[in-house]
Amino acid sequence: RIALIVGFSLLLAGAMSNSKSKTSCGFVHGKTLGLGGIMCFVHAGITVAYYVTATAAAHEIH
């Protein structure tokens, strides 16, 4: 959950600062948007790993 909260808030902060920047049209403004995206992928990887291990454990019990 911590990775989700940190990643989402970094994505939100990066998107907000990127939308306010009228001088540059860069995708990543201050690297906040990029860090949020990385945290989002980390959270997705942890979630998939948890789902796979929980599913495998459930199949072993039955």
**pLDDT, tens digit, for every residue of 36-59?**
778 778 888 888 999 999 999 988
CA distances from 33 to 8, 23, 37, 47 (A): 10, 17, 6, 21
Backbone angles phi, psi at 52, to 5 degrees: -65, -45
- The CB-side HSE value for 37 (13 A sphere, CA atoms) comes to 9
Note the pLDDT of residue 9.
82
DSSP structure string for 9-32: HHHHHHHHHHHH--S---SSSTTH
Note the pLDDT of residue 38.
80
* Nearest-angstrom CA–CA distance, 2 and 36: 12
**pLDDT, tens digit, for every residue of 6-43?**
777 877 777 777 666 555 555 555 576 677 778 778 88
Q: Higher-confidence residue: 28 or 60?
A: 60
